[in-house]
Structure 1
Amino acid sequence: MWYRISSSTVIWVANREIPINSTSGVLKLTTSGTLNIFRNTSDLTPIWSSNASFSVQNPVAELRENGNFVIREENDDNPVSFFWQSFDHPTDTLFSGMKLGKNFVTGQEWYLSCWKNSDDPAQGEYTYRLDPTGYPHNVIMKGQNLTFQTGAWNGVRFSGRPKSSGNTMYTHKVVINKEEVYYMFEQINSSVSRLMINQSGKGQRWTWLQQAQKWSILYEVPSDNCDNYNICGAYGDCNINNGPVCGCLEKFVPIDVDAWTKGDWGSGCTRKKPLDCQKGDGFRKYSHIKEPDTLSTWIDERINLKECKKSCLRNCSCMAYASLNISKGETGCLQWFGDLKDIREVSEGGADLFIRVAFSDSDREKNKATFIISLSVVGGVCLLGLPLAFCIWKIIKKKSKLKRSKGILQGSPKGILRGSSKEHSNMSQKEDPDLPYFSLTTLLHATNNFANSNKIGQGGFGPVFKGILEDGQQVAVKCLSETSTQGTNEFMNEVKFIAKLQHRNLVRLLGYCTDEENKMLIYEYMPNKSLDWHIFNEFRNKLLDWPKRFHIIDGIARGLLYLHQDSRLRIVHRDLKASNILLDVKMDAKISDFGTARSFRENETTASTNQLAGTFGYMPPEYALDGILSVKSDVFSFGVLALETVCGKRNREFIHSDHLQHLSGHAWRLHREGRTLELVHQNISQESDYALEMIRTIHIALLCVQQSREERPDMATVVLMLGSNGELPMPSQPGFFTEGNIVGSDADDNTLLEGR
């Protein structure tokens, strides 16, 4: 069975264990209502049968519009009255209206199982199912081993999944009653979505793009290393933004410190202070986390969160509690017993989990200490008198104003903030009335005074800090530092361009700040950092399979196409490189850093410049040597970036024992010799199902890095080539084929050079 819109997308196979490799197969419906499949018309032994234990007087086999293949009574118009249905026998794909779960009355279980390989639909080693043990949650199993779990269902979503942002394609739900438990999603309007388990053990959500006539992946799980089941052990806390990713929850320490320091986190963590249930324990709140495995849990839908706490506190075996359903406020009670396993931090969404700790480490004790200190302070103020308190307030206010005027505030790192005058600040607000303005006070509060613990990056512009606004939205605050190689022009250039650009593959600018001497840009927060953080790290590079890499390459291409052709301004980025590609929670590529971008008039195709902006290794020869700029400059950079993404090595740092070419030269040499796949990173070179797509992607990248800019395709052609299987022209010699044509650094910081 397949979609009419995509005949190559098989979603259900009846005889998956005994496939027929020709068109001779025969499907028959018997007079009693049994479906049989035969190898051919002369073979009377069925290789597959529906094995129906019923008898139908006038049976009809019907493929319904929702994809359900059913056997029903011919004159029965009941839309759910079927004697047999394919929905009860899923293969590797779940689509709208299908169940994932178990019927406790009949023993029927609905689960997905992957194909053995791309050519063999027989059941593979991975399954995707709803586990009804404890409190229901979806899991991925490799044989009998758990590899991923979604976290508990909270009435809105599974706690391990990010908060949905305006999903209009489908709704989903979990139904739990005495007879059955199941997960189901339903499509909205005319959208087409499917959930599947592939041969690599990835659960993938796909949607059909009608205009592009292709499938697009919305997300997949496991999506990163923290999704691997219980990677940090009991009470371990996995944070993909940390290195290493595993740490212990606050108030917990590693059980085996020596193993922990060597990257072996399986032993997990334990409480700093032991529990003492008889004398009294307490609870500590942990927010934005994926709830632990619910294998040993207990629920009560009737009580609220306050009563849930009391119930858990009375039971010395209860280790944690949380709200059962957040769709109706914080209602219901979910309690955990035994060690808490498979906890991770979730960038957006997650759950509030209250874990049992010693009373002195609990929130109650913390609140008690805060109350005592506050009471003492208030009492002291009263004794000293209101006049003295007023004087102290005036002094503090005066000092705060003085520090702000210098651009260095208490608690913020010295020397990171530098900006234009207050006059320039007022001018900026008038020039960009549609772009939200953030006060410095708001950003100080969001970033905890630009604490070093919130620093998430450093570029040519300056440091970048993670912040959380009052409404809970996570942001990235990019500060212009005193040591920056860029200045006011680049700052205003970024505001000017990116504020007017809206595309799913461009990073979104939320606002800016030019408060007195400080200049900052506020962006949407990207939890998976930048592309270079993944592909140029030996460990993290191994976590990127080919579908993720291709998805990233395709996203960059689509973002550039928008800049070059579809945006209101025709933009040449000029500094496209791995560190300027950010990745969101779904690993969607987002082009960032428009400080050196250049706009072109509608009829303008090239320009000359006396000041080069960009990074060596990504610059095309005509730009690096002669200052000639065009949209083909970005095409060249894209080609280099695509090659780096495929093999996980930097273009200019690439070294080969047999020759002196850069990465692009080495790729061209391999391609001419018919050894293209040798360029692919060894961790994904074994993914044979994607071999042709890998070769084609490298071929397209080589077309983009050709010496002559006239021979390079434009981005519209690149996007078309990536999404089709048509014949490709042979690439000619790439730019800078011989090592040593140009001297420079391929560092992450922008390289601004004086022209020749």
Structure 2
Amino acid sequence: METLWWSTLFFFFIFKASTLKIINPGDVIKDGGETLESENGTFEMGFFSPGNSNNRYIGIWYKFSNTTVVWVANREAPVSDNNGVLSFDNNGILTLFNETNGVVWYTNPNTSRTPHEPVLQLFDSGNLVVKEKNEDDSKNFFWESFDFPSDNLLPGMKIGINLITGFEYYISSWKSSDDPSQGQYSLRIDPHGYPQVVLKKGSETVYRAGSWDGHYLSARKPDDNPIPLYSYNFVINENEIYFKSELKNSSFISRYTMDPSGLMQRFIWNQMKNEWQVYSTAQADGCSTYGLCGSYASCKSGRFPLCSCLEGFKPKSSMNTSDGCSRTTELGCSGDGFLKQRRLALPDTSKSWANGSMNLKECEEFCVKNCACTAYANLDVTKGSGCLVWLDELIDITEFSQDVQPLYIRLPISELDKIQRKMEKKKAVIIAISIIVPMGSMVTLFLLYKLKKNLSNKGKTKEKMEMQIFDFATIANATNNFSSNNKLGQGGFGNVYKGMLKEGKEIAVKRLSKDSGQGFDEFKSEVTLIVKLQHRNLVKLFGCCIKGDERMLIYEYLPNKSLDNFIFDKTRNKLLDWERRFHIIDGIARGLLYLHHDSRLRIIHRDLKASNILLDNDMNPKISDFGLARMFGGDQIEDKTRRVVGTYGYMSPEYAFYGRFSMKSDVFSFGVLILEIITGKRNRGYSDINHNLLEHAWRLWTEGRPLELINKTIGDTDGGNATTSDGTYITSEVLRCIHVALLCVQQRPEDRPKMSSMLLMLGGESTLPEPNQPGYFIEKDWLPSATAADCRSRKQSTSSNEVTITMLDAR
């Protein structure tokens, strides 16, 4: 089913009053059901209200799908009630009046000619036209809606620029599903250099379809090229520049649309199912973001990381592959050569030069003589003619898995020699393998394989990450365009949505909010860490999605959501008997043990809390949200940061006060979590005015009344075995858990047990030492009074859902 935002559009006050086929001077269309219909009944024009808005607009929609509005006349000037009137006069002017007879909107003819017998007609193409009564030549139309597109590009409609008048044709998004006025995004022709089709957010380019290569737009994937169904026309002359498409088969009904988020998709109407179906998506993968990898780097969908330097170039920054690349050896102008690349989409052409009459050899000679030239290619790939030259850094390059138009990249001869020697070594390995395989010499084959691996990696090993890079359109469709009905919850760094992939797999999508505080480093940390971690008590990461400033993590979907939905809810709390609670405590402990000791990496979670413990169908706990996690080296036991990030109530004192964190910081959080599971009360915001939960637990422990901590839904506290409506629990087992929790939350990190001994303690297999006083603090007074005011004057903090980021300055 169609899942974009406009699927929720509905119309008010449209009644079947009258339908016209043509409008003559003096005719009007009144709000309340009067419409203009195209000759074969494909399109209809009339008044409508979008989404939940009560404003009225003149629009054109498909008659068989009247919620699919393809054009809006008065986008910026709605009528506030249903008393609007659309009038057509003797001069061929179409005017929209409001209730007070004020002019809301009118057409401005694109010619100085005056019509003799003007008529207004809606064509079956969706084009609303003012023309002479018996004139059908589009060159003689006085006005047409196709010159003023909204958010849909229909077959026959063009985007471009009239170079004589400066008039520009482009489609632009709605502001929202309730507001059809022009939004942030627009698809247009960029005339700079060799013209190309781009998507802009305001004045910033965010996606590039590319320049015309004689076959199609050069930045599109070869396997996404819909040439069999459509014919394309890209015109560049002294009068105008434009691009348009036409359906080859008129029996198809198709449109190209842009939603308020800038997502562009082509839809085809399925008459059998009576619904729109996605035919293609412009931003089909993570490489669709303009300039994602920076200069002289290519982006390849499905590869992680997505970005890689071109041959002859090296990363500008070792910290971030998206910072772009620089030359390994600088050009000398003279003595340079060219490396032929067959699988790279043509780079951004906004700083290029083109000549249609030159051949490829002449193009190379021109580039050699021009020191600013960085690459060249044929202008028309179908004819092998023309010259396209780049005069600046190469940017926005996509790498394909199959050959496309050759691109010749300028490199120093010394670099070309290195690349040639490298290729010859690889070729020698391949030849040697082809000779040895028939001889059956497996030992020699293995040695050659190792040699090939060493050559390709230059002596360095790279760990391949098994994960999927999802495209934005797939995730948007899976979550019903991030519908509020699919929202599972809100975390410290954004919303989480339930989704369903086409193959039926349920997923949870963590969509990072743009002002969440989690930047690229935290996102990269979470992806890098989770993909390497495999344990039954850790949430499974399927992949990620990157589109512009959108960053999303795709997890397994866990139907019971998070632990806090149970232990802090008065109704769901009753579903957790002691056996289930102990099972959850044990599972969290095993997950932490894996992170701290058993995984290949030593991971400090830094944000262990009830909302970050997810529960599967069988109530097995899974630790999630690794955005704040840090990795330790083999001998490292502690680290320090000025950026304290975590959640009040779960932070250990040494981390909150001084920014020091270690495995013992997670142990502290785990102790808080045990007490919350037992009591059903939050440590932060505990109702006792004089105590927080840790202080309350310590007081009851020292007074010999620890069983008073037990949540009433678990059972009464009299006797050795407590009986509940759901069964029994052993009092000593609960006491042991309280004891372990108090050991975990001790003030001094060195007094807290390691996770390696924690499971033995919980299982009753070791003697427990007496706990010392907890290291608790209350948020409103968590610093000593002597330093609190000073720190407040110097700290910067932002909070979202109890997640706090604090910068600590040295005294």
Coarse TM-score class (shorter-chain normalised)? 0.5 to 0.7
Residues 411 and 451 in structure 1, CA contact (< 8 A), matched pair in contact too: no
1:195 aligns with 2:260: no
Residues 138 and 149 in structure 1, CA contact (< 8 A), matched pair in contact too: yes
Q: Look up the equivalent residue of 2:247 and give its one-letter code.
A: Q
Q: Deviations over 1:587-642 (max 9, x none)?
A: xxxxxxxxxxxxxxxxxxxxxxxxxxxx999xxxxxxxxxxxxxxxxxxxxxxxxx
1:346/1:548 CA distance change after superposition, 3 Å: farther
Residues 38 and 44 in structure 1, CA contact (< 8 A), matched pair in contact too: yes
Q: Which position in structure 2 is the counterpart of 1:533? A: 468
Cα distance in structure 2, aligned partners of 1:128 and 1:397:
51
Residues 302 and 332 in structure 1, CA contact (< 8 A), matched pair in contact too: yes
Deviation at 1:408, TM superposition (A): 9.8
Which of 336, 345, 351 is 2:399 aligned to?
345
Which of 360, 365, 368 is 1:310 aligned to?
365
Residues 412 and 450 in structure 1, CA contact (< 8 A), matched pair in contact too: no
Deviation at 1:221, TM superposition (A): 2.9
Cα distance in structure 1, aligned partners of 2:364 and 2:185:
38
Q: Deviations over 1:519-565 (max 9, x none)?
A: xxxxxxxxxx99x635xxxxx799964225559946325xxxxxxxx
Q: Look up the equivalent residue of 2:230 and give its one-letter code.
A: Y
Residues 286 and 471 in structure 2, CA contact (< 8 A), matched pair in contact too: no
Using the TM superposition, name which of 341-350 and 116-125 deviates more: 341-350
Cα distance in structure 2, aligned partners of 1:352 and 1:248:
18
1:542/1:365 CA distance change after superposition, 3 Å: closer
Alignment of 1:113-124 (within 5 A): 113-124=172-183
Which of 400, 403, 424 is 2:437 aligned to?
400
1:59/1:363 CA distance change after superposition, 3 Å: farther
Q: Which position in structure 1 is the counterpart of 2:98? A: 39
Deviation at 1:369, TM superposition (A): 10
Residues 114 and 126 in structure 1, CA contact (< 8 A), matched pair in contact too: yes
> What TM-score, normalized by structure 2, do the two folds share?
0.50
Which of 146, 149, 157 is 2:205 aligned to?
146
Alignment of 1:80-119 (within 5 A): 80-119=139-178
Identity %: 34
1:212 aligns with 2:261: no
Deviation at 1:247, TM superposition (A): 2.1
Residues 161 and 168 in structure 2, CA contact (< 8 A), matched pair in contact too: yes
Q: Which position in structure 1 is the counterpart of 2:240? A: 180
1:272 aligns with 2:314: no
Q: Which position in structure 1 is the counterpart of 2:381? A: 326
1:73/1:452 CA distance change after superposition, 3 Å: same
Q: Which position in structure 1 is the counterpart of 2:410? A: 356
Cα distance in structure 2, aligned partners of 1:648 and 1:96:
39
Q: Look up the equivalent residue of 2:235 and give its one-letter code.
A: V
* SS of structure 2 residue aligned to 1:318: coil
1:290 aligns with 2:342: no
Alignment of 1:543-558 (within 5 A): 545-547=475-477, 549=479, 553=500, 555-556=502-503
* SS of structure 1 residue aligned to 2:503: helix
Residues 160 and 346 in structure 1, CA contact (< 8 A), matched pair in contact too: no
Which of 12, 26, 50 is 2:107 aligned to?
50
Q: Which position in structure 1 is the counterpart of 2:63? A: 4
1:548/1:136 CA distance change after superposition, 3 Å: farther
* SS of structure 1 residue aligned to 2:186: strand
* SS of structure 1 residue aligned to 2:363: helix
> What TM-score, normalized by structure 1, do the two folds share?
0.53
1:656 aligns with 2:563: yes
Q: Look up the equivalent residue of 1:175 and give its one-letter code.
A: V
1:264/1:188 CA distance change after superposition, 3 Å: same
Cα distance in structure 2, aligned partners of 1:62 and 1:139:
32
Q: Look up the equivalent residue of 1:170 and give its one-letter code.
A: Y
Residues 283 and 364 in structure 1, CA contact (< 8 A), matched pair in contact too: no
Q: Look up the equivalent residue of 2:476 and give its one-letter code.
A: W
Q: Look up the equivalent residue of 1:115 and give its one-letter code.
A: W
* SS of structure 1 residue aligned to 2:71: coil
Deviation at 1:407, TM superposition (A): 12
Deviation at 1:403, TM superposition (A): 2.0
Q: Which position in structure 1 is the counterpart of 2:589? A: none
Cα distance in structure 2, aligned partners of 1:413 and 1:578:
39
Residues 323 and 331 in structure 1, CA contact (< 8 A), matched pair in contact too: yes
1:666/1:134 CA distance change after superposition, 3 Å: farther
Deviation at 1:54, TM superposition (A): 4.6
Deviation at 1:398, TM superposition (A): 8.1
Q: Which position in structure 2 is the counterpart of 1:335? A: 389
Deviation at 1:149, TM superposition (A): 1.0
Q: Deviations over 1:660-711 (max 9, x none)?
A: 69756599xxxxxxxxxxx99x9xxxxxxxxxxxxxxxxxxxxxxxxxxxxx
* SS of structure 2 residue aligned to 1:303: coil
Residues 156 and 173 in structure 1, CA contact (< 8 A), matched pair in contact too: no
Q: Which position in structure 2 is the counterpart of 1:129? A: 188
Residues 343 and 400 in structure 2, CA contact (< 8 A), matched pair in contact too: yes
Q: Which position in structure 2 is the counterpart of 1:221? A: 282
Q: Look up the equivalent residue of 1:173 and give its one-letter code.
A: N
1:408/1:188 CA distance change after superposition, 3 Å: farther
Residues 111 and 128 in structure 1, CA contact (< 8 A), matched pair in contact too: yes
Q: Which position in structure 1 is the counterpart of 2:685? A: none
Give structure 2 stretches of 5+ with no counterpart.
Answer: 1-59, 458-463, 482-498, 509-534, 538-551, 567-575, 585-613, 628-725, 727-811
Q: Look up the equivalent residue of 1:47 and give its one-letter code.
A: V
Which of 284, 304, 308 is 1:243 aligned to?
304
Cα distance in structure 2, aligned partners of 1:195 and 1:396:
50
Q: Look up the equivalent residue of 1:187 and give its one-letter code.
A: L
Cα distance in structure 1, aligned partners of 2:348 and 2:406:
15
1:46/1:401 CA distance change after superposition, 3 Å: same
Give structure 1 stretches of 5+ with no counterpart.
Answer: 375-392, 415-447, 454-464, 466-528, 535-539, 558-575, 580-614, 618-644, 668-678, 683-737, 739-756
Cα distance in structure 2, aligned partners of 1:160 and 1:316:
26
1:120/1:284 CA distance change after superposition, 3 Å: same
Q: Deviations over 1:716-749 (max 9, x none)?
A: xxxxxxxxxxxxxxxxxxxxxx9xxxxxxxxxxx
Q: Deviations over 1:110-160 (max 9, x none)?
A: 001100100110000111111111111111111111111123221112222
Q: Look up the equivalent residue of 1:656 and give its one-letter code.
A: L
Residues 270 and 276 in structure 2, CA contact (< 8 A), matched pair in contact too: yes
Q: Which position in structure 1 is the counterpart of 2:516? A: none
Q: Which position in structure 2 is the counterpart of 1:27? A: 86
* SS of structure 1 residue aligned to 2:414: helix
Q: Which position in structure 1 is the counterpart of 2:420? A: 366
Residues 161 and 349 in structure 1, CA contact (< 8 A), matched pair in contact too: no
Q: Look up the equivalent residue of 1:556 and give its one-letter code.
A: E
Cα distance in structure 1, aligned partners of 2:185 and 2:294:
23
Residues 281 and 356 in structure 1, CA contact (< 8 A), matched pair in contact too: yes
Q: Which has the larger radius of gyration?
A: 2
Cα distance in structure 2, aligned partners of 1:45 and 1:169:
46
Deviation at 1:653, TM superposition (A): 11
Alignment of 1:487-636 (within 5 A): 533-534=468-469, 545-547=475-477, 549=479, 553=500, 555-556=502-503
Deviation at 1:15, TM superposition (A): 0.3
Q: Look up the equivalent residue of 2:187 and give its one-letter code.
A: Y
Deviation at 1:194, TM superposition (A): 1.3
Residues 478 and 502 in structure 2, CA contact (< 8 A), matched pair in contact too: no
Q: Which position in structure 1 is the counterpart of 2:761? A: none
Residues 137 and 153 in structure 1, CA contact (< 8 A), matched pair in contact too: yes
Residues 352 and 389 in structure 2, CA contact (< 8 A), matched pair in contact too: yes
1:254/1:246 CA distance change after superposition, 3 Å: same
Which of 170, 175, 186 is 2:230 aligned to?
170
